[in-house]
């Protein structure tokens, strides 16, 4: 508080004192003290001087506020773009899961065959390997660009998604690969296809859990994004 008062008094002294000092110096060196300018000259000077003193700080302050507002808007738009990129990657990954895996209805065994199950196996492998790692790489890239205090809002969900897809599903895919090969060699019997279909049902249920976790990630990202949207 004392520092602010000192600065204020110094500023006031400079505003009033500098013109008086200039006038005094002019009079001293001209040899006629207080006669270097008449009253009308001084009134004109003080009018212009004080007007400038008032207008210039206001102009600078307004320019500062506009610059600060523009900087804030750019920072907010930067964050919105990061959240948009996270959402886009999440939606694309979920669409792949929904379109290639979850949509399969394995309850009707009449239309199930080894080729369909083999295709489904490849899609599951792709989901838990290539697509998953590309997704994690994409969102980690965007998160790394955010301020430190905003990078961890998805940490729990990403960890849960990692557990669902990497631990559970990959673990169960290994024996399925061998089962499919064996059935191909032994011929397609309804009983064997039914047994293999039941194995896939368990895995698809796990994939559904992953899809629900992706929904949560979308919602959390939307909540973060909405903070910076001015509507």
Per-residue pLDDT of the chain (231 residues; tens, 9 = 90+): 656 667 666 666 666 666 666 666 556 555 554 455 555 666 566 667 666 766 777 777 788 788 888 888 888 888 899 999 999 999 999 999 999 988 887 776 667 777 787 888 888 888 888 899 999 999 999 999 998 888 899 999 999 998 888 756 666 666 666 766 666 666 666 677 777 777 788 888 889 999 999 999 999 999 988 887 764
Q: Output the pLDDT for position 163.
A: 87
The token pair that represents 27 in the structure block: 């009079």
The pTM for the full model equals: 0.68
What is the C-alpha end-to-end distance of the chain, expressed in Å? 39
- The Cα–Cα gap between 27 and 174 comes to 101
Q: Output the pLDDT for position 5.
A: 65
Q: Output the pLDDT for position 184.
A: 62
Q: Output the pLDDT for position 33.
A: 47
Q: Output the pLDDT for position 106.
A: 77
CB–CB of 205/169 below 8 Å? no
CB–CB of 88/191 below 8 Å? no
Residue with tokens 């009033």: 16
């Amino acid at each position: 508080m004392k520092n602010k008062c000192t600065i204020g008094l110094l500023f006031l002294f400079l505003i009033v004192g500098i013109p008086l000092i200039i006038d005094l110096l002019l009079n001293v060196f001209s040899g006629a003290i207080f006669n270097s300018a008449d009253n009308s000259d001084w009134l004109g000077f003080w009018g212009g001087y004080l007007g400038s003193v008032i207008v210039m700080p206001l102009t600078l302050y307004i320019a500062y506020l506009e610059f600060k507002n523009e900087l804030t808007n750019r920072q907010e738009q930067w964050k919105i773009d990061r959240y948009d990129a996270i959402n886009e990657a999440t939606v694309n990954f979920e669409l792949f899961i929904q379109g290639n895996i979850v949509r399969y209805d394995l309850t009707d065994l009449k239309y199930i065959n080894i080729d369909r199950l083999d295709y489904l196996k490849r899609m599951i492998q792709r989901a838990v390997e290539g697509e998953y790692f590309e997704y994690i790489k994409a969102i980690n890239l965007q998160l790394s660009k955010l301020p430190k205090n905003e990078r961890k809002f998805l940490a729990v969900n990403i960890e849960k998604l990692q557990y669902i897809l990497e631990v559970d599903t990959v673990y169960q895919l290994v024996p399925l690969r061998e089962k499919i090969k064996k059935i191909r060699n032994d011929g397609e019997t309804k009983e064997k296809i039914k047994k293999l279909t039941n194995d896939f049902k368990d895995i698809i249920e796990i994939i559904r859990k992953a899809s629900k976790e992706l929904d949560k990630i979308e919602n959390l990202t939307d909540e973060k994004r909405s903070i910076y949207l001015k509507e």
